[in-house]
Structure 1
Amino acid sequence: MSGEDFEDALKYTLQRKGWKLSTTKKTGDFGADLIGHDPKGRKVVIQAKRWNSKVGVDGVNQVIAAKAYYRADHAMLVTNQYLTNAAFELAKRTGVEVWSRKRLNAEIEANIPSKSNK
């Protein structure tokens, strides 16, 4: 799965939960891959990282910058991996919501249409 496919799958998963999202442009996105509103009406920016290794502080910094740039109420970092300890600490201190591998898998599983609905 490419990075763009990962973003699309995340967008699909969140939209099934009532989120209203759009994809930002591929370059010059100011640190956000998805932008929109969650079911509570908060403006949210999301940085999606489909990586082969842990996400470091730079990933968190990108979404912190995106939150400021887009004047969002909330920032999320979603990855198929985990965060380094420093990145996790920065996210925690700055209020960035993190969905790492375990949480992401749970969200995807919860939103797969059941076979009985086909």
Structure 2
Amino acid sequence: MTMPESRTRPLPRGRRFDLRATAMFFGLLATALIAGGFAVRALAGVVERRPAWVAVLLCVCVALVLAHGRRRRRLSAARLARRAGEALEVATNTALDALDTPPPAPPAAVIPAQRYARDTPGAAEVPVVPDYAALSPEEFEEAIAALCERDGCADVRVVGGAGDLGADVVALSPEGRRIVIQCKRYGDDNKVGSQDLQRFGGTCFTVHEADVALVVTTSGFTAPAEEYAEQCGILCVDRDGLLAWSAGTAPLPWTAGAGGVDA
């Protein structure tokens, strides 16, 4: 008895296994992964300094989302390789642009010292008064020390900080007198009160051995504070007095009868 010959059902055309295409696919995929790894390693430091890399990461995420949404579509090895090459080209161009772009210049540091500007060559020097209210307390102390140096004081030191006992700036006047200054960078609505003056008055002469005790503020003084300062011989320089001192339109604060100074 002859058995009927069974025929092997041919595989659908679209499902044939192509060893060459599969090997090409994995080879291109491995190349893309290795190139991407080298690119990420080389540009890791740039990513930390360059916000532009956020755009690169977004592009990669968008590409992954698109690839995930279309994974059911049958993609040939050539199409996959082309898309991988395009993604690498975009990432490389963005990296090169980021490397060629110079880093942003740091914000200009506040120069507390007194500066001068000239309108025209040979013209007289015109003082440029800084915005003292915009300075930090430490910068304000540096600015006052710079004013003292500008006006001929020697051995100018900023000593403010924890345990300064009320002294922020100390200096020697051109006449050799020891100047002790307390700096109060207050707002317009926050005046220096009598308690501030009392704390300073308890140390400026006895502890710091001041010949001239000076309180400089960017605001003003309360009436009780001015009365206490007058009794103790402390010179008070309010905002208007400070601006006049800085502009050079008033006598020096440690000079008797200086304008803008309440003594």
TM-score tier by shorter-chain length is 0.7 to 0.9
Cα separation, partners in 2 of 1:86 and 1:32, compared to 1, 3 Å? same
Alignment match of 2:244 (pick from 89, 106, 109): 106
Q: What amino acid does structure 2 have at the position aligned with 1:84?
A: T
1:17-36 aligned at under 5 Å gives the runs 17-20=151-154, 21-36=156-171
Displacement after TM superposition at 1:37 (Å) = 1.0
Give me the TM-score of the superposition, normalised by structure 2. Answer: 0.41
Question: How many pairs does the alignment contain?
Answer: 111
Say whether 1:55 aligns with 2:55.
no
Tell me which structure has the larger Cα radius of gyration: 2
Distance 2:174 2:200 in 1: 20
Identity of aligned residues (%): 32
* Greater percentage in strand: 1
**Could you report, residue by residue, the CA deviation over 1:26-59 in whole angstroms, capped at 9, with x for unpaired residues?**
1100111011211221111100000111000122
Matching of residues 1-118 of structure 1 within 5 Å: 1-20=135-154, 21-52=156-187, 53-64=190-201, 65-110=203-248
User: Greater RCO between the two (CA within 8 Å, min separation 6)?
Assistant: 1
2:167–2:182 Cα contact (<8 Å) kept: yes
AA aligned opposite 2:174: P
Any gaps of 5 or more consecutive residues in structure 2? 1-134, 250-263
- Give the secondary-structure state (helix, strand or coil) at the position aligned to 2:221: coil
TM-score of the pair, normalised by structure 1? 0.88
Name the SS of the counterpart of 1:15 in structure 2: helix
Please give the root-mean-square deviation of Cα atoms over the aligned residues, in Å.
1.4
